[in-house]
Amino acid sequence: MLIIPAIDLKGGKVVRLVKGDFSAQIDYGDDPVAVARKWADAGAPRLHVVDLDGALTGTPRHLEVIGKIAQAVAPVPVQTGGGIRTAASIGKFFETGVAQVILGTKACVDEGFVTVAVKAHGEKIAAAVDVKDGRVAVEGWVRKEWMKPEPLVQRLIAQGVKTIIYTDASRDGTMSGPGVEGLRAVLEKAGGKAKIIASGGISSLEDLVKLKELEPLGLWGVITGRALYDGKLDLKEAIKLCSPKGSSPASMSKTAGSSKGSAS
């Protein structure tokens, strides 16, 4: 189970939102590249970079800095999302060296777009399934759709999406612990046909122990942000805890880096 540090960008700064609320912002520095290098140097096998301004406006706002992050931490893969809603945007991010592009709003509301994107880029396309109050949330989490996450996950898998980031937005940035039962329901519906990455509420090694029990159901990775930035969770300890028996954090990073082409 990979431990993936989150780098959320807003106004050029590294921030965290609480429950996806843009008015509840915590700043963690104005040098995103330096932050990315810090996590990569600590052994991060992968980085999760989100353009919050892009998610809210529907147009990527941090293309240049995300490209700089990807180049600075290579060969550590960078997965990124936030406002990526056109084929041109997808192409631009791949040109910067990003390993995987995450479709959020488009993945939910435009089936045809997902089909075309997966056909063009294969496993380098991932999808975000963000949930608030049991329903899928889109457009920077400010709009809730009628659908529940499980059928969306099943549809995305049927379309060929191999990596899905499931975020419990009501817990994101709260360090209140992960929503294990909601995640379990998604994993059961996925049926091991996609790599599921969980996000939201991670606060401690104990939380990771709980999530690691879901690994046999297809939980491939865990994204954590505020717990790392606030010093509640040590990245090296977390990686060691979740590494396969006999594998070191360095070997996990090397393995993840080698998947850059397939963006698994």
Q: Residue 27 maps to which CATH number? A: 3.20.20.70
Q: Which residues contact 35 (CB under 8 A, 6 or more apart)?
A: 7, 14, 28, 29
User: Strands 47-51, 78-81: parallel, antiparallel or unpaired by DSSP?
Assistant: parallel
Domain that holds residue 111: 2-255
Contact 176, 204 (CB under 8 A): no
- Which tokens hold the place of 51? 């353009």
- Which tokens hold the place of 250? 């360095």
Task: Write down the pTM of the prediction.
Answer: 0.89
Residue 231 lies in a domain: yes
* Marked catalytic residue, from 30, 51, 53, 130: 130
C-alpha closest to that of 21 among 133, 173, 232, 200: 173
Overall number of domains in the chain: 1
Residue 261 lies in a domain: no
Residue 264 lies in a domain: no
Residue 176 lies in a domain: yes
Residue 223 lies in a domain: yes
21 is catalytic: no
Residue 65 lies in a domain: yes
110 is catalytic: no
- Which tokens hold the place of 79? 């997965």
User: Strands 78-81, 100-103: parallel, antiparallel or unpaired by DSSP?
Assistant: parallel
- 44-86 residue pLDDT tens: 999 999 999 998 899 999 999 999 999 999 999 999 999 999 9
Residue 243 lies in a domain: yes
- 193-252 residue pLDDT tens: 999 999 998 999 999 999 999 999 999 999 999 999 999 999 999 999 998 763 433 433
* Marked catalytic residue, from 8, 51, 168, 172: 8
Residue 167 lies in a domain: yes
